[in-house]
Amino acid sequence: MTHLKPKQHYIDRYDKNTIEECRRITKRPKNQSQASKIVKNVLLYITKGERAINKDETISKWMEYDEKKDKMLKKEPKFFPTCLNCSIPMKYDIKELYEQLDSDKLHIKFFFVCPNCRSYRIFLENNKEYIPEKPKCPECNTVLLGKVTRKNNKQHKHISYCTNCNYKDSWNMTLKPTMPKVDLNLSKDRRKYCLTEKETLEYSNAKFDLEACSKLLEEHEKTKKKNNQLKNP
């Protein structure tokens, strides 16, 4: 499986986010004052424009990141660790991507298994060992144990419990993903909220003029203040 997809996939993803953002703005309560209607329209105008201006750059970043993932997945382990229980060489099993979303770093995990005791060790592409953090009890900090029971064809029940105190937590996991709802208004709202190239350029020019105008006003206010100070020291 490759991560990098045709450009249209990213365009659709970006447009869907734009549509959702604009829908949230237009969804506000119906009986509103004239002033809040104006605010809503201005907010919608800016959101549409800013989303359109940032579109190409965001899509390029997404594509670069997916390309990086594909490159990363081509890497192979450079050494083979020994099992900590049996001191024999371990066998290379599988690899998977490891995204550190908080630091934006992308790694790859190589999984090694011991042919004797079946225990695992995981190493990153930089040869650093990856030791997964075990969930701990929020009450007494003891490592939690867990079990999974099958509820029905669609759901599994996960239970996590502490062997030291009475702490217990459980949650259900759906096995079959539910089909996404068909969005009947998608193409209509796309025309409404996603600007064309020409409209993006128009917004960009209007923004530039507005910024220049507010700068002029600011300068004018400053001069006025200065003159007043000179007249009435």
Percentages helix, strand, coil for the chain, rounded to the nearest 5?
Answer: 45, 20, 35
Tokens of 202: 């128009």
Categorise residue 82: left if φ over 0, alpha if ψ from -120 to 50, beta otherwise: beta
Instruction: Confirm or reject binding of residue 137 to Zn ion (CB under 5 A).
Output: yes
- What is the number of other CB atoms lying within 10 angstroms of the CB of residue 14? 19
Question: Rounded to the nearest whole angstrom, what is the least distance from the CB of residue 133 to Zn ion in the complex?
Answer: 17
Question: Looking at 19, 108, 162, 195, which residue binds Zn ion (CB under 5 A)?
Answer: 162
Is the Cβ of residue 135 or residue 220 nearer to Zn ion in the bound state? Answer: 135
Interacting span for Zn ion (CB under 5 A) from 6-14, 54-62, 85-93, 146-154: 85-93
Is the Cβ of residue 140 or residue 206 nearer to Zn ion in the bound state? Answer: 140
Is the Cβ of residue 19 or residue 137 nearer to Zn ion in the bound state? Answer: 137
Give yes or no for a contact between 65 and 73, defined as CB atoms under 8 angstroms apart: no
The 54-83 site mask, x for binding Zn ion (CB under 5 A), equals -----------------------------x
Question: Rounded to the nearest whole angstrom, what is the least distance from the CB of residue 110 to Zn ion in the complex?
Answer: 17
Instruction: Confirm or reject binding of residue 139 to Zn ion (CB under 5 A).
Output: yes
Give yes or no for a contact between 130 and 120, defined as CB atoms under 8 angstroms apart: no
- What is the number of other CB atoms lying within 10 angstroms of the CB of residue 73? 14
Please give the order of strands across the beta sheet that includes 155-161.
Answer: 145-150, 155-161, 168-174
Question: Rounded to the nearest whole angstrom, what is the least distance from the CB of residue 11 to Zn ion in the complex?
Answer: 49
Question: Beta 145-150 vs 129-130: how paired, if at all?
Answer: unpaired
Question: Looking at 85, 149, 155, 205, which residue binds Zn ion (CB under 5 A)?
Answer: 85
- Interacting residues toward Zn ion by CB under 5 A: 83, 85-86, 114, 116-117, 137, 139-140, 142, 162, 164-165, 167
